[in-house]
Structures are given as structure tokens and as C-alpha cells.
Copies of this chain bind each other. A is one copy, B any other.
Amino acid sequence: MKIALAQLNFHIGNFENNTGKIIDAIRQAKVAGADLVVFAELAVSGYPPRDFLEFHDFIRLCHESIEKISIECRGIAAIVGAPSINKAPEGKNLFNSAWFLHEGSVVSVHHKGLLPNYDVFDEYRYFEPAREFSTVDYKGIRLAITVCEDIWDVGEDLMYTVQPMDVMSGENPDIMINIAASPFDYGHAARRKDVLRRNVLRYGIPIVYVNHTGAQTELLFDGGSMVMASDGRVLNECPYFAEDMLIWDSSDQHQQLRENDHANKYALIHDALVMGIRNYFSKLGFKQAILGLSGGIDSALTLVLACEALGEENVISLLLPSRYSSNHSIDDSLLLLKNLGSPHHILSIEDGFAAMESTLMPHFTDRKPDLTEENIQARLRAVLLMAFSNKFGYILLNTSNKSEAAVGYGTLYGDMCGGISVLGDVYKTEVYKLAEYINRKREIIPKNIISKAPSAELRHDQKDSDSLPEYDMLDPILFEYIEQKKSPAQIISMGFSEDLVRRILKLVNTNEYKRYQSPPILRVSPKAFGMGRRMPIVGKYLS
């Protein structure tokens, strides 16, 4: 039997687009002689549909799509992800299902049993978990169809009390099919292969795995759809970060056609961020971006990534100097812009700053300059950037990194503005690594931008290190707390000073209020700020 794996980039709630893509892929698979074509989890709606799932009208549109798709399934079958109605009097009203469609009708519907409800996942918010699982026979081959998480509970610490494949293995299936919506992080591709391998080895049969590709605001999907043989070898794999279709003849369980290279962490993050920017703009119907180019490494890197995503002519940089900007900030930025061939404007914030100072002076008379005046500069830059955004229809790109976001080293309504945060899940030390990756062939980001000491340039001779420890000290502490969820005692026992650890964790927790109003952040790590990390604002733990 020939099985087509359709790795597609869907758009949440854009039924016309999604159904069209699915139907095109069915036709294409049919031409290629496929017996069955497999699509990702919740393909018809896009993933994650979030609270749209609570609207009956939205579910109705999902089912309209399923009907349209089923009509296309003549001489070919399809497995498509879509919600289905739970008709039992008890439990949530929906299942998260794989629909098996053939000859114009629904052959069977297979509901997801394990509903992820951690980090970025909220599936038990919408869906009832299936408690029964059964295989389906198609053209003499017995298929065990599961949905994403159903095959992921294979670690030491089991999160669920049921294992769908354990139940179905009693029916002696020939092939596992898993439809997924499994978001990218820099360690995900390796983990995914490990999970699939544990499954094929445990159940002794091959697996066909189909994932989403594309970006849905914060969530990035790399794809990596694949066929893995029962001995754990990858027989064929779709490329990362791109739509693709591959066809596997299930009688061939030996020939290894293609497997993605084990890319390095920064290559993966780079590709993910470029796709994240590109899809954010295209799905919102925008073409052009604006950003503030400070002369520092964060905005430089953001600019390079945006130029790759949107075209260098579509990214407009504003250079926004003040009395505290060093000359090299402008020069370095101009060199970078020349390297990229990307447009810019230079606007001084001095007139605005002077006006604000004189407006405020009668009220601030006896007060010395402090963080207030620094924030005013950052906020005036935001006013100018947003003016261009409003006037010309550009989306403002936020350039803050994860280290800054973590400790609140940034101005709310100032440099924290933007439609999307490009580097908000990239620690400062990782920003340098990404810049090195960008420069791997030729110097795009000028050496001077990389080598200078980080500074916000909001007062004379300011350095980040005036307020924060060096980033190669700060970032490991942040990682242990945010990603690893270690206690202060555990982090201190790793050799960091107690004062420093307590000070940093306090900064992280007391700045929750700032992150609450941050733009959405492209997620590239296993624990990003945003929908996957939910903290109280008035909480008093470690603060």
C-alpha cells in the first residue's frame, strides 16, 4: 500500500485555505498512485484553534470542511485531523479526532486519548479523552491510528494512566499512524525521533508520522514528518520548516531514502525564527516591518532575520539617536544596513526628549534624573516607531532578548513594544551564537557590533553590566530556574553566590507584570515566556 504524508502549513480558522490545501494534496497523492494520504492533527482548523473551539459555528465549519474533503476521497483514502462531537451525555463536548475518509464518506473516527495540558498545551480545556481505542483495516492492512500525545507517554515518569497503543496492540496492527501538532524547540527533532523509536521498537511495527509545518504566532512547527521502520531506522523524512509530500510504499521497509541532517542548535533556531517572522506577517496579511536599530547586537540580529524572512527591501530600520548615543552606534548600524542593502531613516529623539523634560520639569523640580528619564527616551523611540507603523502599515518588530525579558531589563511601552518578539526566547549568550552563525560565510553583522560591551545607551557611559551580572553568569542561572525549575538552594549548590541567585530569581519573579504585557514571543526553547509559562503577577514566591 502506498501512503502519502502531507506536511502542510495551515492557517488557524482559515477553512477555505486549509480545505483547499488538503484537497490539492489528495489530488496530487492520487496522481502519484497513493492509496492513502495522511494529514496532521486538527488540520482542517489549524493548530492551536484555542477558544474558537468553544464556538459551535467554528465546529460546524470544521465539519463542512470534512464533508468537502470526503467527497474528494474517491479511489483514495485520507486521514484528516478535525474535532468531532462527543455524543455521550457526560464529559466535554468534543473529541480531538483523526477522521478516516474513503469513497465519499467517513469510515471511522479515532479520538485522541492522551490530552496534553502542560506548557503551551490546553487540550483538556476543549476535549474529552478517548477511553477506547481500536484499529482499522484498509486494503488488508491493519492500521493503528493515534493522535500526537497518544504515543508520547514513553518516559520514566508516566503522565497518563492509559496507553492507547498498548490497547490496540492486542489487535495486531501492521502499521502505526500518528497525526501530530508538535511544536518546535531546539531539542525537539531529536526527542521526536527518540519517541518514535521507542514506539516502533516496543510494538514491532513501522510508524507513519505527520506533523504541521509553519508558524502560528508563538508556536513554530518544524514538520519532520517521517516513516520509521520497525527497527528504528528513518526510511524517509520531510524537510524541516517547509511544506512537503512524500510517498511510502509499505511493502518496502528497508530502503532509507532521506533523513534530515542533524542540524546544529543555532541553524535550527535561525530557520525557525525566519519562518516565524515570515508566517506572522503573511497570515496577518502584512508585508513590511519596522524596527529600531540601536547599534547593539539584538536589533542587528533581528534585522538580519527579518530581511531573510521578508526581503531586505521590506524591513525599514529607524536609527533613533539621543545625546547618549555613541558615534559607533550609528556607524555600525549603517555598515550593517549597507551589508544587507536594507532601507533606513535617522530621527533624533532630542526634540521630543527636550519637550518632555520641559513639560515635566515643574513637577519633578527637586528630583534627580533616574530611571524615569531613561524610560522616557525608550518610550519616545516607541512613539516614533509606532508612528511609522501606523502611517505606513508596517509591523514593529520587538528586539528584546530572553535574558532582558527574564530580569525586566527593558522599558515597558518602550523597547518592549512590537507586534512580535523575535528574540524573546533567545538568551543573550545565544544571541551571540546566532550572530556567529549568521556570519559563518561572510561578515554580515559587523564585528564591532558583536564585540562591543552591551549598553542601552540611556545615560552617559551606561553598560548592561552596571545593573546586571555578565551574561555568561546570568544566563546559566536563568536557565536553571526557568527551563530546569530548580530551587534557589539547588542553583546555589552549583557554585553561584547566594546573593546573586536570590537577586536574579527575585528580578525574574517581580517582573512578571512587565512580561504580561510583552508581545508574543517566537518560541524556540522548551520553556518560553508566553502561553507556556503562566505565573501570578501578585505572587510572593522568591520575590
Binding site for B on A (CB under 8 A): 11-14, 17, 46, 48-52, 54-58, 60-61, 89-93, 117-118, 122, 124-125, 157-161, 215-217, 279-280, 283-284, 345, 347-349, 351-352, 354-356, 358-360, 363-364, 367, 370-372, 375-376, 379-380, 382-384, 386-388, 390-391, 412-413, 417, 419, 485-490, 513, 516-520, 531, 533-543
A390 touches B413 (CB 8 A): no
In angstroms, Cα B384 to Cα A359, docked, is 9
Residues of B within 8 A of A161 (CB): 90-91
What number of copies of this chain does the assembly contain? 2
Known contacts A360-B384, A375-B386; 16 additional CB pairs below 8 A are: A14-B540, A14-B541, A55-B485, A55-B487, A89-B157, A90-B158, A90-B160, A91-B160, A122-B534, A347-B359, A347-B360, A349-B359, A367-B391, A383-B383, A413-B413, A517-B518
B387 touches A541 (CB 8 A): no
Closest residue on chain B to residue A383 by CB atoms: B379
In angstroms, Cα B534 to Cα A531, docked, is 9
B17 touches A540 (CB 8 A): yes
B413 touches A382 (CB 8 A): yes
Closest residue on chain B to residue A517 by CB atoms: B517
Residues of B within 8 A of A51 (CB): 533-535
In angstroms, Cα B543 to Cα A289, docked, is 22
In angstroms, Cα B538 to Cα A17, docked, is 14
A538 touches B487 (CB 8 A): no
* A249 vs chain B, min Cβ distance (A): 36
Closest residue on chain B to residue A218 by CB atoms: B537
B52 touches A541 (CB 8 A): yes
In angstroms, Cα B215 to Cα A489, docked, is 31
Cross-chain contact of A517 among B217, B387, B519 (Cβ < 8 A)? B519
Q: Across chains A and B, which 9 residue pairs bring their CB atoms closest together, nearest first? A: A13-B541, A57-B487, A14-B540, A355-B355, A283-B538, A372-B390, A351-B355, A90-B158, A12-B539
In angstroms, Cα B125 to Cα A351, docked, is 51
Q: List 24 A-B contacts (CB under 8 A).
A: A13-B536, A50-B534, A52-B541, A56-B485, A57-B489, A61-B541, A89-B158, A91-B161, A93-B157, A117-B122, A217-B536, A217-B537, A284-B513, A347-B363, A348-B359, A352-B352, A356-B383, A356-B387, A360-B384, A363-B388, A376-B387, A386-B413, A412-B417, A531-B534
Residues of B within 8 A of A488 (CB): 57
B539 touches A52 (CB 8 A): yes
A58 touches B541 (CB 8 A): yes
Known: A50-B534, A536-B50. A372 touches B391 (CB 8 A): yes
In angstroms, Cα B520 to Cα A173, docked, is 50
* A399 vs chain B, min Cβ distance (A): 16
Residues of B within 8 A of A57 (CB): 486-490
Closest residue on chain B to residue A159 by CB atoms: B92
B117 touches A217 (CB 8 A): no
Residues of B within 8 A of A413 (CB): 379, 382-383, 386, 413, 417
Residues of B within 8 A of A347 (CB): 359-360, 363
Residues of B within 8 A of A360 (CB): 347, 384, 387
Residues of B within 8 A of A17 (CB): 540
In angstroms, Cα B14 to Cα A419, docked, is 35
A536 touches B117 (CB 8 A): no
* A467 vs chain B, min Cβ distance (A): 15
Q: Name the residue in A57, A58, A490 with the highest tally of chain B Cβ atoms < 10 Å from its Cβ.
A: A57
In angstroms, Cα B389 to Cα A379, docked, is 13
* A336 vs chain B, min Cβ distance (A): 21
